[in-house]
Chains A and B, each alone.
Chain A
Amino acid sequence: MTARSYLDHAASSPMPAEVLAELVEAMGQAGNPSSLHQSGRTARRLLEEARESLAVSVGARPDELVFTSGGTEANNLALLGAPRPGRSQVAISAIEHPSVAGVRERGDQVQLLPVDADGFLVTAELAELIGAQTALVSVMWVNNETGVIEPVAKAADLAHAVGAWAHSDAVQAFGHLVIDFAASGLDLLSLSAHKLGGPVGIGALVVRRGIQLRPSGFGGGQEAKLRSGTVPVALAVGFAAAARLAAVRQAEEQQRLAELKQQLVAGVLARIDQVRVNSPALASPAIVNLTFAGARADDVLLLLDAAGIDASTGSACTAGMHQPSEVLLAMGRSLADAGSSLRFSFGPSTSAAEIERALAVLPTAVAKARAAA
Chain B
Amino acid sequence: MRILAAMSGGVDSAVATARLVEAGHDVTGVHLALSRNPELYRSGSRGCCSIADANDARRAADVLGIPFYVWDFSERFAADVVADFVAEYAAGRTPNPCLRCNEKIKFAAVLERGVALGFDAVATGHYARLDRTDEDPSLYRAAEPAKDQSYVLGVLTAAQLARCEFPLGEVQSKTELRAEAAERGLLVADKPDSHDICFIPTGDTAGFLNDRLGERVGDIVNEADEVVGAHRGYHQFTVGQRHGLHLSVPAGDGRPRYVLGLDPVANTVTVGPKSSLVVRTITGIRPTWTERPQTGSWRGLVQVRAHGEAMPATISVVADQLEIALDEPAFGIAPGQAAVHYDGDRVVGAATIAATNS
Contact = CB atoms under 8 A, between A and B. Distances in A.
Interface in A290-321: 298-299, 302-303, 305-306, 319-321
A368 interface: yes
Nearest to B58: A320
Nearest to B35: A319
Interface string B114-142: 10111000000000000000000000000
Interface residues of A, number: 13
A124 B305 CA distance: 67
Contact of B28 (A306, A369, A372): A306
Contacts of B112: 372
Interface of A: 298-299, 302-303, 305-306, 319-321, 368-369, 371-372
A368 B113 CA distance: 10
A116 B38 CA distance: 34
B33 A321 contact: yes
Given A319-B38, A369-B117, A306 B72 contact: no
B31 interface: yes
Given A319-B51, A320-B31, A321-B33, A302 B117 contact: yes
5 contacts: A302-B117, A306-B26, A319-B70, A368-B117, A368-B118
A320 B9 CA distance: 13
> Which among A298, A306, A319 has the greatest number of chain B C-beta atoms within 10 A?
A319
Contact of B54 (A303, A306, A319): A319
Contacts of B54: 319-320
Contacts of B250: none
Contacts of B68: 320
Contacts of A305: 67
A321 B117 contact: no
Contacts of A303: 117-118
A321 B113 contact: no
Contacts of B70: 319-321
Interface residues of B, number: 20
A365 to B, nearest CB: 9
Nearest to A339: B72
A303 to B, nearest CB: 6
Contacts of B69: 298, 302, 320
Nearest to A370: B116
B116 A302 contact: no
A368 B38 CA distance: 29
A371 B116 contact: yes
A320 B33 CA distance: 9
A6 to B, nearest CB: 15
B71 interface: yes
Contacts of B33: 319-321
Nearest to B39: A319
A71 B219 CA distance: 65
Contacts of B72: 321
A306 B71 contact: no
Contact of B116 (A298, A319, A320, A372): A372
A303 B69 CA distance: 11
Nearest to B2: A306
A103 B29 CA distance: 35
Contacts of A319: 33, 38, 51, 54, 70
A299 B38 contact: no
A303 B26 CA distance: 13
Contacts of B31: 320
Contact of A306 (B38, B51, B67, B116): B67
B58 A299 contact: no
A302 B69 CA distance: 8
Nearest to B50: A319
Most buried by A among B28, B51, B69: B69
B324 to A, nearest CB: 39
A126 to B, nearest CB: 34
A371 B119 CA distance: 13
Given A321-B72, A368-B116, A369-B117, A302 B51 contact: no
A372 B114 CA distance: 7
A299 B51 contact: no
Given A302-B69, A306-B28, A320-B31, A372 B51 contact: no
A321 B113 CA distance: 16
Nearest first, the 10 closest Cβ-Cβ pairs linking A and B are A372-B116, A320-B70, A371-B116, A321-B70, A372-B113, A372-B117, A319-B51, A321-B72, A320-B54, A319-B38
